[in-house]
Structure 1
Amino acid sequence: MFKLAVLPLAALTLSATVQAADTTNIDVQLGSTERVTRLFAYPNNCNVICFRDWTLEQTVEHYLTQSVQRDGYATAKVEVKIDNDKVYASINGVPKSYGQPLKALLDAGDLAYNGASKLNSDKKWSYNWYLFLPLGMALENRKSVELLHFPPDYSLTQAQDYLESATTDRWATLLTVNGIAVEQTPAYQTIIDIAPIAAPSNAGSTLEGLYSYFNDYQTTMVTQVTQTASGAALPMVAFGAPVRNWIKTQYGQTVNVLSLATITTGSGVKVPVLGSNHPSYIWYAADKDSYDGDEAKADAAGLKVMGQDLSASCWQAGMGSKPGTDPSTLLNQCTQTWQVTQKEKTCELFYTSIRNLTPADAAKKCETPAIKSQLPQLKVPMPLPAEAV
């Protein structure tokens, strides 16, 4: 027994040594100060008084530190300097190839900037929009990709964290319910927004007619981010009606909620895509004002959406944690779990996370005849209000 206990420990020690040996110090030229200023949305929030009075170097260090940490390099250090109008990032404790995806992101960012510039010259840019690339994402050790509409403005101006929003927070919680450790959720939430514009939450309808300005950026990002360094495809979830419609326009594939499609990227990689509700849609679908104040109808719709969202996040978690899993088989398993086998748990999660009941009160609510009779209907299609996000 003693020898059996020692062998795994030795293996772990060796693994840690190999990982340490595989990391090094890299120096990456990010471009001119003008380029880096626009690609890092610098300054992130200054209106005479700066919310955070950071230099350009500090701003870049902030986002690159988020990336190395989300890639799992907890001890990596980032230092950014400007020399002769060029910005250089020195990153210690990452693989020597780590600069490649960083450069690729910034090259794609140039395409986004070109699109935004054209949008502005056509008098379609709004005074309260900000060009905002998906900075701070995992650049290397990604598990899955999330295709979304646009980032909320406060993720840039207040949080300076692309993953800090009501949308991403809720979905991270659903991933943890489906077995992903809290500290691992950023690896599953590598985001591509089809409109790389930080904007107020009510800007969605305005942005819908402007996607073509960013076509080169969008397709480049999808090609880059949906495959690993070895060329393997990563699963992608398409959130919300505008994004699912964009998939149809761009790749010719129809993706409804909880339906699967396969798209072929510019590099020829075939990527499995699952359609999903927007993570924030449930608050609209479960709002009694959408049903003339009828709370019973609002609860029924909310329960339906909760079952769909848990099923979608289950698929994302499973595909990301076990590459090579059959997408269709896994989706069937996930819908069976959250809409049939564990429908009571789905109900309780709805009432705790959306109606803010205590776990005990949620359990009691789900045992009432009125609610209990609805649970077998979770898997049955029903009309829901049109998505507002």
Structure 2
Amino acid sequence: MHRSPPFAALLAGLAFAGSLQAADLQVSLGDRDRVTRLFAYPNNCSVICYRDWTLEQTVEHYLGQSLARDGYSSAQVKVGSDANGLYATFTGVPADYGKPLTELLQAGDLAYQGASRLNGDHKWQYSWYFFLPLGMALENRQSIELLHFPPDYSLTQAQDYLESKTTDRWADLLTLNGVPTERTPGFQTIIDIAPIAAPASAGGDLEGVYGYFTDYQKQMVSQLTRGKNGASLPMVAFGSPVRSWLKQQYGATVNVLGLAQISPAPGKQVPVLGANHPSYIWYAADPETYDGDQQKADAAGLKVMGQDLTAACWQAGMGQRPESDAGQVLGDCTQKWQVTDKVQSCELFYTRVRTLSPDQAKAKCTAS
């Protein structure tokens, strides 16, 4: 399942038409050096560029993604430059649309400072790329996903922060819990505690770098969990490194399907649910993890699938109704996927993970 819209086609339709109109919004992005740093430009060049874009085209690409994910399908963006640096001109967006973009770039400055200190301490690795969560919904977010780090190919190949096996799998679970496919990006606004695109095997090395990004991390959590009308957006913390970081920074203990509240700003309470990493099920259900014992692998995979469906159910419910009682929503979701619809959860494991046919999955789950 490919969750991301065809942005090449989208950007073709984002051409700037005519001179500035009264309703246009112009947002300063900073000087060329700053924009180059914060947009990881060039995204995919060695000797040959995979996509040979200018800096302006690269920025337009990511801002176009944000427009689409905010639901502004008829909006336009054009990036230009003058003596003061680069600026983005939007049409068809609210007058305050520049505020979250400016805040993201300000947080990005903090992240870059942290990455520079990391490199100055000779801890930066050649296979890492500085990568902010570009292209997310800037305004119409429904929930926040706290993760470890983005995969390198999301930057170097896709130029799409939401293009990964991890996010695709979780988007599938959200749709199984009633979120329309086209709306899943609004639920998947990501904060990675390490703003570094890296190979999948880099997790262990990255666990030692979080302290360099503390200011960035806290600012992002405070900014992105701020919903409309004063409501706090729910957040899901994926994987043990992220849940450990949450404990260190906010004193909140969240095991898998554990619920807590954090206060990223005075007077603000954000509900947080602990979850497995979206890719954990592939390890948990691998027979090699149990010396080839298929029965143990299936049992572990079934358990994780039930947990993941429950967490996605909570995220979908709280994202649509953030004023809801987080504990009650979790209780309802637990009842649904681990009692009432346990057979369906079983069938989804065998079709999604074991790739059996629906009839084969049904036979297995009926027998068990």
**TM-score bucket (shorter structure):** over 0.9
Kindly state the Cα deviation for residue 84 of structure 1 after the two structures are TM-superposed. Answer: 1.9
Q: Which residue of 1 aligns with 2:337?
A: 338
Alpha-carbon distance in structure 2 between the residues aligned to 1:301 and 1:200? 26
- Decide whether aligned partners of structure 1 residues 35 and 267 sit closer, same or farther in structure 2, where only a CA change above 3 A counts: farther
Q: Which residue of 2 aligns with 1:10?
A: none
Please tell me whether the aligned partners of residues 177 and 313 of structure 2 are also in contact (alpha carbons under 8 angstroms).
yes
Cα displacement string for residues 271-313 of structure 1 (whole angstroms, at most 9, x for unaligned residues): 0000000000000000000000111100000000000000000
Q: Which residue of 2 aligns with 1:101?
A: 100
Alpha-carbon distance in structure 2 between the residues aligned to 1:276 and 1:24? 43
- Decide whether aligned partners of structure 1 residues 267 and 153 sit closer, same or farther in structure 2, where only a CA change above 3 A counts: farther
Cα displacement string for residues 303-361 of structure 1 (whole angstroms, at most 9, x for unaligned residues): 00000000000000000111211000110110111011000000010011111112122
Equivalences for residues 15-26 of structure 1 within 5 A: 24-26=23-25
Count the aligned residue pairs: 347
Q: Which residue of 2 aligns with 1:155?
A: 154
Secondary structure class of the residue paired with 2:137? coil
Q: Which runs of 4+ in 1 moved over 2 A?
A: none
- TM-score for the superposition, normalised by structure 2: 0.93
Equivalences for residues 217-236 of structure 1 within 5 A: 217-236=216-235
Cα displacement string for residues 13-37 of structure 1 (whole angstroms, at most 9, x for unaligned residues): xxxxxxxxxx942100100010000
Equivalences for residues 1-389 of structure 1 within 5 A: 24-84=23-83, 86-368=85-367, 372=368
Alpha-carbon distance in structure 1 between the residues aligned to 2:57 and 2:217? 28
Cα displacement string for residues 116-136 of structure 1 (whole angstroms, at most 9, x for unaligned residues): 000000000000101100000
- For residue 153 of structure 1, what is the amino acid of its counterpart? D
Q: Which residue of 1 aligns with 2:17?
A: none
Q: Which residue of 2 aligns with 1:16?
A: none
Alpha-carbon distance in structure 2 between the residues aligned to 1:55 and 1:358? 46
Alpha-carbon distance in structure 2 between the residues aligned to 1:238 and 1:99? 28
Kindly state the Cα deviation for residue 230 of structure 1 after the two structures are TM-superposed. Answer: 3.0
Secondary structure class of the residue paired with 2:354? coil
Secondary structure class of the residue paired with 1:209? coil
Kindly state the Cα deviation for residue 267 of structure 1 after the two structures are TM-superposed. Answer: 4.3
Give identity over the alignment, percent: 67
Secondary structure class of the residue paired with 1:43? coil
Alpha-carbon distance in structure 2 between the residues aligned to 1:24 and 1:289? 60
Alpha-carbon distance in structure 2 between the residues aligned to 1:297 and 1:229? 46
Unaligned runs of 5+ in 1: 1-22, 373-389
Kindly state the Cα deviation for residue 111 of structure 1 after the two structures are TM-superposed. Answer: 0.2
Please tell me whether the aligned partners of residues 147 and 192 of structure 1 are also in contact (alpha carbons under 8 angstroms).
yes
- For residue 166 of structure 1, what is the amino acid of its counterpart? K
Alpha-carbon distance in structure 2 between the residues aligned to 1:348 and 1:221? 38
Please tell me whether the aligned partners of residues 260 and 272 of structure 1 are also in contact (alpha carbons under 8 angstroms).
yes
Please tell me whether the aligned partners of residues 24 and 89 of structure 2 are also in contact (alpha carbons under 8 angstroms).
yes
- For residue 32 of structure 2, what is the amino acid of its counterpart? T
Secondary structure class of the residue paired with 1:124? coil
- For residue 308 of structure 2, what is the amino acid of its counterpart? D
Cα displacement string for residues 49-91 of structure 1 (whole angstroms, at most 9, x for unaligned residues): 0000000000000000000110010011110012126001001
Q: Of the two, which has the highest radius of gyration? A: 1
Secondary structure class of the residue paired with 2:237? strand
- Decide whether aligned partners of structure 1 residues 127 and 85 sit closer, same or farther in structure 2, where only a CA change above 3 A counts: farther
Kindly state the Cα deviation for residue 205 of structure 1 after the two structures are TM-superposed. Answer: 0.7
Alpha-carbon distance in structure 2 between the residues aligned to 1:185 and 1:140? 14
Alpha-carbon distance in structure 1 between the residues aligned to 2:233 and 2:209? 27
